[in-house]
Structure 1
């Protein structure tokens, strides 16, 4: 298994902890990237569909999940979920680093589509960039329109017939400490993407190749694993109310 970045590991650890209290069912994931959240959901007994705009991402997902694809527990779709017309309701809509790629109209369309897609007891989990003061080169090359705060996320969902039942700032303080290095590595490896359109930047943001930022030598797995990262997981939970957290976890349910 590939060695994951520290921020990705911390997000997955928090998500796993939250999902332990949720009975598995059917999910839809939008913007699955390399499939780390899909893998977590499948390991917990969920089944579902993942949508991505980039064909190479879908190919990579099919290579990663051949057994789950063959037995129908997982379907990777190359397409725009906002235009999907599936009749079967899902129990979970999940997206990680997706909503910030949408303009204001697209953002509204996303939360409306999620509302239509959920079963009566379903929920949505959205993970987005936090802390506007940390806007940087990575936001530019990935095609972001905004970063979020707990207040701006609540205003978005409260105004669209949702109830926010949980928010948490994640990856603090490790992401903040690594922020200058991250900006340097991204600028060195990906600055050329600034010439692309916002749509093309979004398509290329799912699976990235930035040495020592998204990809690490296997030896780093001795440090970048759940056991070794557990103290940092406890630390991110202790500071989950920090406005400086660079990742925001938002859990919502349709308003009754």
Structure 2
């Protein structure tokens, strides 16, 4: 499976951050194609993935069959907000999830994370950022907002959480490609604009947009970490740029005590 270039850049940064953590038990919320959970399993983590879309959950189960069969990973077709299992995770991670939540759901999300985190656990969030770049992809995917460093900090303060690490990601690569992305999404998915927010959210984890979410096999020659490494270096150079299209956040509730130094 070929990942989008922006996703590859995010994964490159995430791998560097995960290298600072001892593998343990993780929960991923909104697993989509399973690529993030697969990365964690490859790094020695054991975990559970939550996904609200039945078809998406089934596809993720198949793509991660080796980890599911070995007992290292479990897919649950459930809404994380209403799960009541007594979980104690060392890591809770979500990529492009909380922007789909309204304000009350957003609060519930973090309350559920707080109850499911181990005492020394942390949350990692990847979210769309910069309202300046609000576009059709936000509209068809069921987004309520794009974040910024300031709005994320304010959200953490309101909820009684603390930020231990923040970085802007994919700048300037994704910004350069933004007009192309908008064109491809509008061409392939404009019919979704009339759908409800709930339906848009359920469909967002299983999108098929040629040259945006799916690529010919020959594209593996350019869609790889080696080719994209210069842009990985650039995204780290611009780690606080306000126009970056993705924000990366490590955080934990104050109730768990102490700063996380990573």
- Same fold per superposition (TM over 0.5): yes
Give the corresponding residue for 1:249. Answer: 248
Give the corresponding residue for 1:137. Answer: 136
Give the corresponding residue for 2:35. Answer: 36
Give the corresponding residue for 1:10. Answer: 9
Superposed CA RMSD in Å reads: 0.8
Following TM superposition, the consecutive aligned residue runs of length 4 or more in structure 1 with deviations greater than 3 angstroms are none
Partners of 2:87 and 2:77 in 1: CA distance:
19
The within-5 A match list for 1:1-256 is 2-255=1-254, 256=257
Partners of 1:109 and 1:243 in 2: CA distance:
27
Measure how far apart 1:71 and its partner are. 2.0
Partners of 2:72 and 2:85 in 1: CA distance:
16
TM-score scaled by structure 2?
0.96
Q: How many residues align?
A: 255
Measure how far apart 1:88 and its partner are. 2.9
Aligned partner of residue 138 in structure 2, secondary structure: helix
Give the corresponding residue for 2:260. Answer: none
Measure how far apart 1:158 and its partner are. 1.7
Checking the alignment, whether the CA contact within 8 Å between 2:87 and 2:117 is kept in structure 1 is no
Partners of 1:253 and 1:103 in 2: CA distance:
21
Partners of 1:210 and 1:224 in 2: CA distance:
16
Measure how far apart 1:219 and its partner are. 1.1
Partners of 1:236 and 1:72 in 2: CA distance:
36
Checking the alignment, whether the CA contact within 8 Å between 1:158 and 1:164 is kept in structure 2 is no
TM-score scaled by structure 1?
0.98
Aligned partner of residue 37 in structure 1, secondary structure: helix
Structure 2, gaps ≥5 residues long: 258-262
Aligned partner of residue 204 in structure 2, secondary structure: coil
Partners of 1:236 and 1:163 in 2: CA distance:
24
Checking the alignment, whether the CA contact within 8 Å between 2:169 and 2:245 is kept in structure 1 is yes
Structure 1, gaps ≥5 residues long: none
Aligned partner of residue 38 in structure 1, secondary structure: helix
Partners of 1:7 and 1:95 in 2: CA distance:
16
Aligned partner of residue 53 in structure 1, secondary structure: coil
Measure how far apart 1:54 and its partner are. 0.3
Measure how far apart 1:145 and its partner are. 0.2
Partners of 1:210 and 1:67 in 2: CA distance:
27
Deviations 1:94-127 (A, max 9, x none): 0000000000000111111111110000000000
Measure how far apart 1:64 and its partner are. 0.8
Measure how far apart 1:254 and its partner are. 2.0
Partners of 2:71 and 2:160 in 1: CA distance:
33
Measure how far apart 1:67 and its partner are. 1.9
